[in-house]
Each structure stands twice: as C-alpha cells, then as structure tokens.
Amino acid sequence: MAVNREAQTPRLSEAARRFLNEPRFGVLATINADGTPQQSVVWYELQGDEIMMNTKRGRLKDRNLRRDPRAALAIEDGNHYVSLRGPVTLVDDQNVAQPDIERLAVRYDGEEQARAQMRNQFSHEARVTIRLRPDRIDEYGMQT
C-alpha cells in the first residue's frame, strides 16, 4: 500500500531512508520550456531531509531548473519505490559543487574510479549541485 505524505513538512520513513541510503539510480523529472517533461537518470545522496544531486553546468536539466525550479525524483527497485517532489536550489559555487560530484562518484563507482573521473573529467567542468527539498513524498513497499 502506498503511503502518501502530503503535509506541510513531509518526512521520510526510516525504511525509506534506509532504501535511499543504498546507491540506486534516480530518475529526475524537470519541465522543458514548452511545458513537456524531461527525465534524466541521476546519481543522488540523501543528506538530512534533502536529496543532493549534481550535474554539468548547461545541461538541459540545469537550464530547465534555472527557469522553473520544480522537480520530481523517483527511485525504484522492483516493487519498492520512493517518489519525491518539490523545489530545488542550485549551487554554482565550485567549492561546494566539486566536492559534491566527487562524493557521488565515490558512492557509485568507488574511490579509485572516482579519483580518475575527477582528474579526467569532473574537475575540468563547471558543476552545479542540485538540492531537492521535497514538499511531497510517496513511498511504496517500504519495510518497517
């Protein structure tokens, strides 16, 4: 049964926090200029009550979120999922965005490969951290 948490300040269940703390891919939905949805597969990390993501400056999701900061993120694993929706904050400060992409690279690819990605790619890019603070959370199949 789905749990709909549409309160002023929705909270993730402990089961959902455990689920999100495992490295899974998320699907981030943003809104194109013509109003159509745009989806991107993303790395993410739960940080407190926010979801942190990171992208290269200028990508479509970055441009869409600068124009309209509403987003939705879905993370699924078979019959289990968490869906979050809300406004985002973009952080262009490279002193924040570069360590954030490195943290995500370590989370998903391990330290050795993350070092190579930082050296060969990410450190040469202007990066943007995306912080999603959900105002709606839907959970399905979470074990208590």
Query: Residue 52 sits in a domain of what CATH number?
Result: 2.30.110.10
Q: Which amino acid is at 3?
A: V
Residue 4 domain-assigned (yes or no): no
Residue 100 domain-assigned (yes or no): yes
Residue 28 domain-assigned (yes or no): yes
Instruction: Report the alpha-carbon distance of residue 144 to residue 133 in Å, rounded.
Output: 23
Instruction: State the pLDDT at residue 143.
Output: 74
* Angle made by CA atoms 105, 109, 111, in degrees to the nearest 5: 75
Number of domains the chain contains: 1
Instruction: Compute the chain's Rg from CA coordinates.
Output: 15
Instruction: Report the alpha-carbon distance of residue 20 to residue 132 in Å, rounded.
Output: 14
Residue 62 domain-assigned (yes or no): yes
Residue 5 domain-assigned (yes or no): no
Q: What's this model's pTM, rounded to 2 decimal places?
A: 0.91
Q: 74: domain range?
A: 12-140
Residue 113 domain-assigned (yes or no): yes
Instruction: State the pLDDT at residue 9.
Output: 75
Parallel, antiparallel, or unpaired: how do β-strands 136-140 and 45-47 relate? unpaired
Q: What is the residue-level pLDDT of the chain in tens, covering all 144 positions?
A: 344 544 467 899 999 999 999 999 999 999 999 999 999 999 999 999 999 999 999 999 999 999 999 999 999 999 999 999 999 999 999 999 999 999 999 999 999 999 999 999 999 999 999 999 999 999 999 876
| Residue environment code for 10-32, b if the CB has 16+ CB neighbours within 10 A, otherwise e | bebbebbeebbeeebebebbbbe
Instruction: State the pLDDT at residue 144.
Output: 60
Neighbours of 62 (CB within 10 A): 20
Residue 6 domain-assigned (yes or no): no
Q: Sort residue 103 into left (φ over 0), alpha (ψ -120 to 50) or beta.
A: alpha
Residue 1 domain-assigned (yes or no): no
